[in-house]
Chains A and B, each alone.
Chain A
Amino acid sequence: MKAPESDHQLFERLRAGQEQAFVSLYHRRQPALYRFALQMSGSAPVAEDITQEVFLALLREECGYDPARGSLVAYLFGIARKLLLRQFERRRSDVPVDAGAEERRFAEPVDASNPLADLTARERVEALRRAVSSLPRRYREVVVLCDLEDVDYAEAASALGCPIGTVRSRLHRARLLLAEKLRDERDGGATVPAWKAARCAI
């Protein structure tokens, strides 16, 4: 059985004018990119625009993809992220007002009980969805990439432009933050903060 073409092979063919290669690459990579943009922006129209722009970037004369610097999937997520950052700068509403409060939680004693224990599967998913969307951007993006889209740590690091160790430590911190948020919600304390207009502090 013939092995599927690599992303790089598809890229080479699409740049040579073979439309089918472009369509194949789009079908392969579009869903994860769209979901990444959707989870990060919370807006379907923005996610559509970002997805479109990412693939249009591949058609430009100087598209900037260099296989020596990382995989194509990392490059695509990297573009999506840059476009999202631009979007956030325009909206200036990326993070909850008190982003520092998230950091301070690490100094507090940890409640190791399962914050999802008493919830049905549907409730868990919805609670987590809210919690993920309320994370500060730098934690949200690693959770979406690595936990939700199964991007490996090396590719996530390449897309985010940071060391792989940073990805892992942010990911772990993000999970703890999520646990805290879910626990707060379960205990009827501070609810997961909704999006608030705030100057981007990242």
Chain B
Amino acid sequence: MNCEEYWNDIAGPEPEEDFDTHLAACPSCAARWAAGRPVAGGLRLLAAEMKHVSAPPRVEAHLVRAYRERFRQRVPPVGEVRRWWAAAAAVLLVAGALWTGVRPPAAPLVATNSGPAAATGIEDEDSAFIPLPNAAGSPQDDDVDLVRVELPRSAVTALGMPASDDSDAESVEAEVLVGPDGMARAVRFLN
């Protein structure tokens, strides 16, 4: 290995011993190698001094905003989390009822709700809540949530309600009563 090869290939595929051998035999390259050593020590000092340097907090704030925008993410309040869980459960349960083909009795379920939107009794057939099959043995809870969801149009007929032919919509809006255990109790179609 000559000097040029040494400096060009110092970390090439050759084993490290070859480089050491060259340094031992070549005073010029050894001197050059030695000249770099104090610099390496000084660079460590510089690196240590710069360790505390980082981007200002506004960069992180901007990035987090961009992240939330990208993923449409927000931190919901605790009550809202419960409502979303309830909505998810309601959709699953209504879907489950449809899948098993169970037709529940059409008797209206009288319920009260902690929320103002649901604090109504069910008075006429069109606005009545239809109890879901899994709600048969559920207690009459005072503390139910009313959750508005979208369901497939087929859900209307599967639950024994006449489906309007006027609408081309694939889905219908419905309100679901969800008990404090997260189980859907009843559903009411809005359109």
Contact = CB atoms under 8 A, between A and B. Distances in A.
B54 to A, nearest CB: 4
A77 interface: no
A43 interface: no
B contacts with A: majority SS: helix
Interface in A107-135: 110-112, 114-117, 121, 124-125, 127-129, 132
A61 to B, nearest CB: 9
B117 interface: no
B64 A23 contact: yes
Interface residues of B, number: 43
Interface in B41-89: 41-47, 49-51, 53-56, 58-60, 62-64, 66-68, 70-71, 73
Nearest to B29: A110
A182 B7 contact: no
B60 A26 contact: yes
A30 interface: yes
A47 B55 contact: yes
A52 B11 contact: no
A175 B11 contact: no
B24 interface: no
Interface of B: 7-13, 28, 31-36, 38-47, 49-51, 53-56, 58-60, 62-64, 66-68, 70-71, 73
Give the top 3 A-B pairs by smallest Cβ distance, nearest first.
A168-B11, A175-B36, A31-B54
